[in-house]
Chain A
Amino acid sequence: DAGITQSPRHKVTETGTPVTLRCHQTENHRYMYWYRQDPGHGLRLIHYSYGVKDTDKGEVSDGYSVSRSKTEDFLLTLESATSSQTSVYFCAISESFGGQTTNEKLFFGSGTQLSVL
């Protein structure tokens, strides 16, 4: 999947514990994203990054934080996991995004299945 590795692939955790998901890319793309996929909702953007240490919130950012200390790594942290955060989490990357750009295309990782009990 286009040089994107998500880890772990599966995780089961308990309510109230912190969880960190990792996305690693080898494409040197500037933009990185975290989405969650839920039945009936499609994909919803949690946070995105437009460069090292540059991040912004998406439409469902409450309860999540992110960090990007290197171009290749984008971490998603659930500060105190809740059952409503049980979902499949996808990382995506793109070379360009926004405005009038014409070569915009997202590449997705294989996803992390997270279960919060």
Chain B
Amino acid sequence: AQSVAQPEDQVNVAEGNPLTVKCTYSVSGNPYLFWYVQYPNRGLQFLLKYITGDNLVKGSYGFEAEFNKSQTSFHLKKPSALVSDSALYFCAVRDMDGANNLFFGTGTRLTVIP
């Protein structure tokens, strides 16, 4: 079975500080991992993805994510948070070797405080 856990419903960070949004996953085969962001009253937007290769993936708006196979994690990071980064962030996983369904986490609301 495939699943994604985002252990924090809410993350608050001061503007200019580094931010981390956590994600752990479970798949039976090789994982295909994504981060999406949702701004108010909008659909989700793609941020970045991990397929294979480098464990550090760079994406849109200065975000990056680190794939850690031993910890089955794919945490989203940014060195310096902006107020405009405030949004709802979703981690998603698909089993590359199995079913074609993409499973989303429950989301983490990031608030960047000026």
Contacts and interface: CB of A to CB of B under 8 A. Distances in A.
Interface in B8-43: 32, 36, 41-43
A18 B113 CA distance: 44
Interface size, A (range)? 20 to 34
Interface of B: 4, 6, 32, 36, 41-46, 49, 51, 90, 94, 96, 100-102, 104-107
Interface of A: 1, 4, 35, 40-45, 58-59, 90, 92, 97-100, 102, 104-111
A35 to B, nearest CB: 8
A101 to B, nearest CB: 9
B43 A45 contact: no
Nearest to B90: A42
Contact of A107 (B4, B46, B105, B106): B46
